Amino acid sequence: MSRFDNVYEYDANLAGAGLRVGIVMSRFNLPVCEGLLSACVAELKRLGVADADMAIATCPGALEIPLILQSLANSGKYDALIALGAVIRGETYHFEVVSNDACRAIMEVQLDTGVPIANGILTCETDEQAEVRMQPKGADCAQAAVEMANLQKAIAQ
């Protein structure tokens, strides 16, 4: 039902059954990334995505994530993708470079391929912040991926 008379409004759809989802996880800051992955997969399953319709690829760090996302998107096998990683501030400028460039590249892959990507790369000041955010962010990314895949399909009809 639209909030406006005579205006079509696409509804948010979190039904994951039949959707194929690829996940790319960084192995840098592995305990946090595994927490993100655990929450993400649990939420995908809760939304109805079958185990057989999920694929997980790991890579060394956040800067490597976009290339693997691009490969998965170009394969034509996935309705949505999810990027999972953790960049935690250190004592150098490297934090900003990794955070900014990984995010920019993920957006480019999404726009170039038309495959929605939920960005779950945490950018935190401390390990403690990352640990607090990993479970909610992992689940949030699962929901965003499913919703965006369904929205893309609805628009294409």
CA distance linking residue 107 with residue 117, whole number of Å: 8
CA distance linking residue 38 with residue 100, whole number of Å: 25
- Please provide the distance, in angstroms rounded to a whole number, between the alpha carbons at the two ends of the chain: 18
- Farthest-apart Cα atoms in the chain, separation: 56
Of 27, 46, 94, 104, which is the active-site residue?
94
Instruction: Note whether 102 and 63 are within 8 A (CB).
Output: yes
7 is catalytic: no
By DSSP bridging, strand 54-59 and strand 80-88 are: unpaired
Residues identified as active-site: 94
